[in-house]
Amino acid sequence: MLNKTTMNAIRNADNATLDAIVDMVRARRSMISQEIKGSFSVGDAVFFNDKRGMKVTGTILKINPKTIKVSTNMGLWKVSPSLLMAA
C-alpha cells in the first residue's frame, strides 16, 4: 500500500514526472515477471485461474520471453508467468 508521502508526490507530479513513474513501474513489473519466470522449468506442474476464475492445472511445455506455454486437458495456454503457481 502506498504511504501518504508517495500518494501526495504522485498527486502533485507534472506530466514528465508521471511519465517517468509509469516507465519505472513498467520496468519493475518486467523484472518481477523475469524473476518469477526463472523459478519455473519445462515439465513443472503448475496451475492458474482462467478468465472465469476456474482453476486450470497443467504442465509447462515451453518458456517464451514473455509467456509460458502450458499444456492442460483443455488444450494449450500461453500464460503470463505472474499468473502461474507451482502445483
Whole-prediction pTM = 0.72
Other C-beta atoms lying within 10 Å of the C-beta of residue 84: 22
| Residue ranges for the chain with pLDDT beneath 70 | none
Domain membership of residue 77 as a residue range: 4-86
Q: What is the C-alpha to C-alpha distance for residues 86 and 17, in angstroms, rounded to an integer?
A: 38
**Number of domains making up the chain:** 1
The pLDDT value recorded for residue 1 is 72
Spatial separation of the C-alpha atoms in residues 24 and 35, rounded to whole Å: 17
Q: What is the pLDDT of residue 66?
A: 87
Strand partners, 71: 59, 76
The pLDDT, as a whole number, for residue 84 is 96
pLDDT of amino acid 11: 94
The CATH number covering residue 52 comes to 2.30.30.140
In whole angstroms, what is the distance from residue 48 CA to residue 70 CA?
10
Q: Beta 68-72 vs 55-63: how paired, if at all?
A: antiparallel
